[in-house]
């Protein structure tokens, strides 16, 4: 029965659902061990703010090319699970190559190679989860929330370990988590044959078809600004928190609470989507995000930053839980992975690249408080296309777009 997973063995539907949730838990545990504390490693090898910004911008630049490429490859040959296994193993093992490296050029090169494989992980895993959720009558947010749980636990535990044993421990944690995620992925079904027709158009033709959908284009523009700031915050928050008086262990505690708050709000996202719709839920998330960054730029106390941790749940949790669903419902079914990949390469790629490059320059020229003022301003800009989607002439999908999206 769709949506029923209780009372089944690990080998049945319940076991497959458990494996999918565990996949998200460990994939994002790896990300949580890596992203929030990577600046501690950069500081330990004496990189400047500009150099940190350049390295942090590598992943977005690579993903701009790599994510659509991975997406089109998966859609054409229907081998999402195989590609995800290969990229998880490669990403985990590459993380170990950072240990003992201190030269900027080598770190830059390693980051570029790592980003190539990492860029496949999120769009493919989201596509697998979206397909499973659709076929079994589930909410995507109920699966995705386990990623928030994993990220939160990893940031806290790794923060304590880094303070005790140094930055290199984060690379061991990252590698181990992705390898464990791969073991669970082996039990996750790839239901692409049940949910989508085989991709039959060329890469450029498919991308051209997607970029002709107004709601999708506006959403890409919004995500460029909104997700750019969200993703860049994972890199710069550690320095910001220490500037306002916090410790490295405190950074881990902050991310535990921040990312942990995403899980319940991802669970609530389905309720708000049913009550208000995808558009207003996304708009609410962006408004809270802009308010958060502008408030951070005023140098609040660490106590208040921790006490108001749930703001991340509202802003990031709502946005991440509903963004993939918005893409799915507003793009043709035959281009699902490609549409997700382009969305992530714009928000997680171009937007994050802009934010990290600008943040590195702002840190060297002004302070980390200026970084968060910049994040707040560009998130406000991102609210504009979301408002157009919710209230403008594209409030509802055009009939031909809607019929394509639900095939």
Q: In sequence order, which residues have a C-beta less than 8 Å from that of residue 289 and are 6 or more positions away?
A: 226, 229, 230, 315, 316, 319, 379
Q: Which residue has the higher pLDDT, 145 or 7?
A: 145
- 188 has pLDDT over 70: yes
DSSP string, 222-246: HHHHHHHHHHHHHHHHHHHHHHTT-
> Cα 292 to the chain's mean position, in Å?
18
pLDDT of residue 193: 43
% the chain with pLDDT above 90: 30
Task: Write the burial class of residue 193 (CB in 10 Å: 0-12 exposed, 13-18 middle, 19+ buried).
Answer: exposed
- Distance (Å, whole) CA 130 – CA 324: 8
Distance CA 87, CA 358 (A): 29
Quote the pLDDT of residue 381: 97
Query: What does the pLDDT average to over 69-90?
Result: 82
Residue among 178, 202, 175 nearest 76 (CA): 202
**pLDDT tens-digit series, residues 107-126:** 999 999 998 998 888 888 88
Reported confidence tier of residue 198, pLDDT bands at 50, 70, 90? very low
Tell whether the model's pLDDT for residue 205 goes beyond 70: no
Residue 2 has pLDDT above 50, yes or no: no
Structural contact between residues 336 and 110, judged by C-beta atoms closer than 8 angstroms: no
Report yes or no: 158 and 166 within 8 Å, Cβ to Cβ. Answer: no
Alpha-carbon gap, residue 116 to 118, rounded angstroms: 6
Task: Give the Å distances, CA to CA, from 6 to 10, 13, 25, 298, 368.
Answer: 10, 9, 20, 48, 48
Average pLDDT over residues 215-222: 91
Cα 365 to chain centroid distance, Å, stands at: 29
- Structure tokens belonging to residue 316: 């990031």
Q: Residue 88: pLDDT band by 50, 70, 90 thresholds?
A: very high
pLDDT for res 273? 82
pLDDT for residue 227 is more than 80: yes
Question: Residue 14: what pLDDT?
Answer: 65
Predicted local distance difference test score (pLDDT) of residue 10: 45
- Under 8 Å between Cβ of 164 and 153: no
Q: What confidence tens digit (pLDDT) does each residue in 301-348 have?
A: 999 999 998 898 889 888 988 888 888 888 877 677 778 778 877 877
Residue 132 neighbours by CB under 8 Å, 6+ apart: 16, 17, 20, 138, 143, 188, 189, 191
Report pLDDT for 204: 59
Tell me what the mean pLDDT of segment 21-41 comes to. 89
* Closest among 177, 175, 237, 199 to 71, alpha carbons compared: 199
pLDDT score recorded for residue 98: 92
The pLDDT assigned to 130 comes to 82
User: For the chain, what is the mean pLDDT?
Assistant: 82
Q: Measured between alpha carbons, how far is 291 from 279 in angstroms, rounded to an integer?
A: 19
Global pTM?
A: 0.69
Taking residues 44-64, report their average pLDDT: 82
pLDDT tier at 399 (50, 70, 90 boundaries)?
very low
Burial class of residue 105 in the structure, from the number of CB atoms within 10 Å of its CB (0-12 exposed, 13-18 middle, 19+ buried): exposed
pLDDT at 199 over 70: no
Which residue in this structure is represented by tokens 């460990």? 26
């Amino acid at each position: 029965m769709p949506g029923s997973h209780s009372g089944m063995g690990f080998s049945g539907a319940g076991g497959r659902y458990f494996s999918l949730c565990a996949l998200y838990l460990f994939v994002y545990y790896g990300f949580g061990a890596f992203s929030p504390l990577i600046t501690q490693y950069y500081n330990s090898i004496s990189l400047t703010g500009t150099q940190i910004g350049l390295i942090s911008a590598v992943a977005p630049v690579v993903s701009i090319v790599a994510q659509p490429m991975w997406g089109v490859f998966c859609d054409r040959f229907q081998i999402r699970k195989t590609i995800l296994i290969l990229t998880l193993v490669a990403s985990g093992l590459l993380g170990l190559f950072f240990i003992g490296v201190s030269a900027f050029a080598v770190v830059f090169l390693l980051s570029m190679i790592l980003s190539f494989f990492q860029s496949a992980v999120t769009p493919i895993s989201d596509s697998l989860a979206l397909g499973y959720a659709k076929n079994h009558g589930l909410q995507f947010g109920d699966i995705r929330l386990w990623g928030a749980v994993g990220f939160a636990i990893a940031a806290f535990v790794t923060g304590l370990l880094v303070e005790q044993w140094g930055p290199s421990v984060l690379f061991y944690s990252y590698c181990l988590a992705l390898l464990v995620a791969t073991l669970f992925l082996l039990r996750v079904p790839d239901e692409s044959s049940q949910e989508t027709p085989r991709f039959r158009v060329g890469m450029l033709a498919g991308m051209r078809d997607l970029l002709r959908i107004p709601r999708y284009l506006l959403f890409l523009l919004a995500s460029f600004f909104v997700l750019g700031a969200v993703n860049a915050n994972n890199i710069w928050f550690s320095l910001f928190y220490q500037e306002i008086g916090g410790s490295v262990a405190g950074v881990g505690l902050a991310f535990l609470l921040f990312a942990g708050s995403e899980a319940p709000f991802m669970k609530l996202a389905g309720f708000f989507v049913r009550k208000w719709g995808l558009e207003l839920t996304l708009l609410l998330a962006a408004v809270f995000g802009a308010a958060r960054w502008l408030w951070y730029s005023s140098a609040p106390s660490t106590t208040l930053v921790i006490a108001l941790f749930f703001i991340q749940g509202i802003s990031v949790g709502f946005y991440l839980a509903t963004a993939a669903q918005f893409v799915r419902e507003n793009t043709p079914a035959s281009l699902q992975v490609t549409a997700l990949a382009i969305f992530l390469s714009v928000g997680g790629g171009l937007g994050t690249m802009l934010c990290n490059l600008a943040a590195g320059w702002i840190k060297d020229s002004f302070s980390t408080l200026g970084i968060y003022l910049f994040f707040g301003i560009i998130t406000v800009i991102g609210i504009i296309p979301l408002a157009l989607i919710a209230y403008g002439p594209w409030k509802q999908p055009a009939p031909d777009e809607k019929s394509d999206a639900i095939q």
